[in-house]
Amino acid sequence: MAETLNVNLGERSYAIHFATDLGVEIRTEVGKLTAAGRKVAVITDTNLTAAQPQALAAMFGGVPTLAVAPGEGAKSLEGFGRALNFLAEAKLDRGGVVFAVGGGVVGDLAGFAAAAWLRGVDFQQVPTSLLAMVDSSVGGKTGINIAAGKNLVGAFHQPRAVYVATGLLATLPAREFAAGMAEVIKYGLLGDAGLFDQLERTPLTVQSPELAAVVHRCCAIKARIVEADERETAKEGGRALLNLGHTFGHAIENVAGYGEYLHGEAVAIGLCAAARLSHKMGYITDAAVARVERVVAAHGLPTHLRGPLPLAELHAAMTRDKKVRAGGLRFVVLKQLGEAATQSGIAPDLVEASFREVGAV
């Protein structure tokens, strides 16, 4: 039986549904929409259409479907244009509903297309990767990448519902599952020391009996943060805490070239860099940094760059990050494992030293 977690945002509130299999619930929702005269369209990727054709057919039948190429390359101006043209061909009107069925890339792209099409139509999320389930499908951030940086173009557009069916993870490649674990580890570090301790004792796998409970736990943390600071406007803390490791990670993705590192892999290195920065600022110990790196490595994630990247380019990419405020970078640092804070005015040499220690040159 499905469990439900509500994200309380007034008229933009919605439910996150959890179960091993939500195919019947999704098919029922699609049936209700079409019976009400609302057109439905699906945006997914070719990995999913190859790995889960029966599940897609069971959920959506003959609904118009666009399958994009997997990977960050789909989150481009070209990919965005293709998605909009697809919605036009599907004849979606203002009552139409877009279903984003896939990982974080699909959710970001489909959500932004829904936000822009006819100045905004409804969309619903069916995340199929661990990263999307615990993070990107919840909270309404949508967007695409441009040459200047990751997610610099986008919109806040909350989904009308999220369906987290953990059974869909059965065909997820091991590297993609590991990438999702970077976000799970992030939640433990920023606000749930008990979760971090649990991951340290017993690394999570797709077969772990506690997987569903951990996914629910991460969504609950994010839901409460989003409710308190939906558009990331808090002067300190708030939704910006969810960017732990991401200022470093986004720079890595940009400089290495989108797709060289999976988003979660870059975030994992970013978490290690953020831990080192937190140590240099006197917040956490060497032993705590080592614990972070052990947990990251235990989940099949990199703690250092696979090859050197130029520090000057990484710094330039960080200055283009959307988290820059008043011309200055704001980092998320660890006051202790399980407690994070935002901080501006950090000496550039400390940031550079932290980047060097994870492989920048």
243 is catalytic: yes
Residue 266 and residue 59: Cα distance in Å, rounded? 33
SS3 content of the chain, % helix, strand, coil (to 5): 50, 20, 30
232 is catalytic: yes
Assign 259 to helix, strand or coil. Answer: coil
Residue 87 tokens read as 């919605």
72 is catalytic: no
39 is catalytic: no
| List 157, 216, 217, 246, catalytic entry | 246
183 is catalytic: yes
| List 141, 157, 216, 330, catalytic entry | 141
**What residues contact 167, with CB distance under 8 A and at least 6 apart?**
20, 21
315 is catalytic: no
Q: Where are the beta strands (DSSP E) in the chain?
A: 3-7, 14-19, 40-45, 65-68, 97-102, 122-127, 141-146, 149-156, 161-165, 330-336, 339-344
| List 29, 176, 183, 230, catalytic entry | 183
| List 29, 72, 176, 232, catalytic entry | 232
| List 263, 291, 299, 330, catalytic entry | 263
Residue 107 and residue 123: Cα distance in Å, rounded? 10
Residue 314 and residue 312: Cα distance in Å, rounded? 5
Residue 121 tokens read as 């139509």
H or E segment and range at residue 12: none
Burial of 236 (0-12, 13-18, 19+ CB in 10 A): exposed
141 is catalytic: yes
| List 222, 276, 291, 299, catalytic entry | 222
| List 75, 150, 217, 250, catalytic entry | 250
Residue 162 and residue 294: Cα distance in Å, rounded? 32
Residue 220 and residue 201: Cα distance in Å, rounded? 22
157 is catalytic: no
216 is catalytic: no
304 is catalytic: no
| List 243, 254, 280, 293, catalytic entry | 243
Residues acting as catalytic residues? 119, 141, 183, 222, 232, 239, 243, 246, 250, 263
